[in-house]
Amino acid sequence: MSLTVKANLVVGANGATTLVGRSHGLSSGADRARFHEIRSWADCILIGGESYRSEPYQNTPVPLFVCSHVLAGISPAIVLSLSPVESLKEIAQRGFSNILIEGGAHLLSDLLKASLIDGLYITHTDIEGDGGFINLEEMTKSLTLSNSETIAGEKFLYFTKK
């Protein structure tokens, strides 16, 4: 079975990934439409514990895995008290092949460092956030920009492995 791992992240003009503790404040209608389109590809979602605590993940269209050493026994998610890399291996062993990473700059950076992300969707907005700061250039240095589109001032970027 072939494993494909893609990730989706919204990033503010100042490199923030959250506004008032959530990504929703940085997201537009166009971003949310793309978010749901990307989700339709996945057969499961992987997020970090902080994303689970701050974002509305009570209902997802596919199984939800949470990579966390702190959370336990949450429902309906499946908590994996493993590293991000080991979490991906565990999910693949459970038979999932199209994994979408939706949450956590830390989780995402660990998987990028391990070269386990096949595709990275970035929505770059003009809104300035206040938390979860990343260096987009550093984060994408091991990837190639495959597609770029600007809609209503937002840049929709898609990066793939080099």
DSSP string of 49-109?
Answer: HHHHHHS--S--SS-EEEE-SS--S-SSSEEE-S-HHHHHHHHHHTT--EEEE-S-HHHHH
End-to-end, the C-alpha distance of the chain in Å comes to 22
Cα 110 from chain centre: 12
CA distance 70 to 74: 11
The reported pLDDT for the residue numbered 123 is 96
Give me the domains of the chain, ranges plus CATH numbers.
4-161 (3.40.430.10)
The reported pLDDT for the residue numbered 1 is 64
Best CA proximity match to 91, nearest among 111, 113, 75: 111
Predicted TM-score of the model (pTM) = 0.93
Beta strands in 12-57 (DSSP E): 44-48
pLDDT values of the chain reduced to their tens digit, one per residue, 162 residues: 689 999 999 999 999 999 998 998 999 999 999 999 999 999 999 999 888 888 888 889 999 999 988 876 677 789 999 999 999 999 999 999 999 999 778 899 999 999 999 999 999 999 999 999 999 999 999 999 999 999 888 999 999 998
CA distance 41 to 153: 26
Buried-state track 76-106, b at ≥16 Cβ within 10 A, e below 16:
ebbbbebebeebbebbbeeebeebbbbbbbb
